[in-house]
Amino acid sequence: MFCQKCGAKINDEAVICVKCGCAVSGKSISGVQKDGKNWLVTLLLSLFLGYWGFDRFYLGYIGLGILKLCTFGGCGIWWLIDLILIITNSMVDSDGKPLNKT
């Protein structure tokens, strides 16, 4: 395996490159791949604060969060659609990872 930043050869089990200090893609410091955002937290944020875009901010969609904030959840329609998407587990975070139900 090679570092994506500097090209140095690194161990397959390494989480950072020894030469440049860059993190190996797909691994966290604990060595486990990072999961998506928590499903329950997203659901509660959408349910209680979704009109103001807090669910979108939490998922990493800053621009959509601001737009949802300015339109009060699309007058409630966007809020309801987001709530349904979260309940049916069809929503993903800004990295494209599905919500984590653990």
SS3 102: coil
pLDDT in tens, 40-80: 999 999 999 999 999 999 999 999 999 999 999 999 999 99
Q: How many other C-beta atoms can be found within 10 angstroms of the C-beta atom of residue 3?
A: 20
Q: How far apart are CA 46 and CA 30, in angstroms?
A: 30
Amino acid occupying residue 29: I
* pTM for the whole structure: 0.66
Angle at alpha carbon of residue 33, lines to 32 and 37, rounded to 5°: 120
Q: How far apart are CA 54 and CA 35, in angstroms?
A: 20
pLDDT in tens, 22-50: 777 655 544 444 567 999 999 999 999 99
